[in-house]
């Protein structure tokens, strides 16, 4: 073996066996998909946090619900704003169907429950939107190392088979095939680590937004209880 010769990793990848090549291709595609999701989801969550903060500031400053609704329409990426919109629409329907001053206690409570259900449905829908594509990151983080390990094991099996056929197990015959096999593990880790970090970070941010939606729903329902649905005279 020429000690001045270095291993050409690009050449090793292009000359890998069919199985190892398929594994590498799968890992590369998974990595590209993960990075695409990471950039898009990071931008989406950042805008969602910013717009939610803007909406909450407007909500607690404003005196009229119709003005708040107009603001919410301009903040489509805020999950809190969309929860408010759903509750406001349902509240408007209830108010039109059952004027507060004429409604009985049973009707008032029924209308309140309708608004509560509308807020819950909207929160679940927004949570589903926020979590979209996140499972792919979790799957990549969990599976990529094992897929890479499979490629490595398969490559090592082929390397030992070639060594057996040649009948020479010195460093010159072992280094190259073993290096080819280990590339699959390296690529698997390269795909898994960023996906795992992003998966945990995004889930943390989503839980924060989920808590904001739940807290806002509770506050909004309390406001409705105090100022909209009162005991019938």
Q: What is the CB-side half-sphere exposure of residue 214 using CA atoms within 13 A?
A: 8
- Give SS3 for 76: coil
Are the beta carbons of 140 and 191 closer than 8 angstroms? yes
- Tell me how far apart the alpha carbons of residues 88 and 121 are, in angstroms, rounded to a whole number: 13
- Tell me how far apart the alpha carbons of residues 219 and 233 are, in angstroms, rounded to a whole number: 25
Residues of the chain with pLDDT under 70: 1-17, 97-111, 166-177, 228-233
12 located within any domain: no
11 located within any domain: no
With both helix axes pointing from N to C terminus, report the angle between 171-227 and 18-61 in degrees, rounded to the nearest 10.
20
Please report the pLDDT score of residue 26 as a whole number: 92
Please report the pLDDT score of residue 110 as a whole number: 57
What's the structural domain count of the chain? 1
Please report the pLDDT score of residue 114 as a whole number: 84
Please report the pLDDT score of residue 164 as a whole number: 72
Q: Which has the closest alpha carbon to 12: 171, 153, 179, 160?
A: 179
137 located within any domain: yes
Please report the pLDDT score of residue 233 as a whole number: 38
Please report the pLDDT score of residue 112 as a whole number: 74
233 located within any domain: no
Provide the domain limits for residue 93: 17-227
21 located within any domain: yes
Please report the pLDDT score of residue 9 as a whole number: 54
| pTM, 2 dp | 0.80
- Tell me how far apart the alpha carbons of residues 226 and 221 are, in angstroms, rounded to a whole number: 9
Please report the pLDDT score of residue 108 as a whole number: 55
Q: Which has the closest alpha carbon to 94: 115, 64, 70, 79?
A: 115
């Amino acid at each position: 073996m020429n000690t001045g010769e270095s291993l050409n990793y690009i050449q090793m990848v292009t000359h890998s066996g069919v199985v190892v090549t398929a594994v590498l291709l799968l890992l590369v595609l998974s990595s590209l998909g993960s990075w695409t999701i990471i950039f898009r989801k990071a931008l989406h969550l950042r805008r969602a946090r910013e717009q939610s903060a803007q909406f909450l500031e407007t909500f607690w400053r404003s005196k009229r619900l119709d003005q708040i609704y107009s603001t919410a329409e301009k903040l489509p990426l805020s999950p809190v704003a969309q929860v408010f919109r759903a509750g406001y629409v349902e509240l408007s329907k209830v108010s039109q169907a059952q004027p507060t001053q004429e409604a009985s206690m049973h009707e008032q409570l029924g209308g309140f429950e309708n608004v509560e259900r509308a807020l819950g449905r909207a929160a679940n829908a927004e949570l589903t939107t926020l979590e979209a594509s996140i499972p792919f990151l979790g799957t990549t983080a969990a599976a990529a190392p094992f897929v890479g390990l499979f490629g490595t094991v398969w490559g090592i099996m082929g390397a030992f088979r070639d060594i057996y056929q040649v009948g020479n197990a010195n460093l010159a015959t072992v280094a190259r095939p073993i290096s080819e096999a280990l590339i699959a593990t390296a690529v698997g880790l390269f795909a898994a680590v960023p996906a795992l970090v992003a998966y945990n970070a995004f889930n943390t941010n989503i839980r924060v937004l989920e808590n904001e939606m739940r807290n806002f729903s509770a506050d909004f329902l309390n406001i409705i209880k105090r100022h909209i649905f009162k005991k019938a005279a």
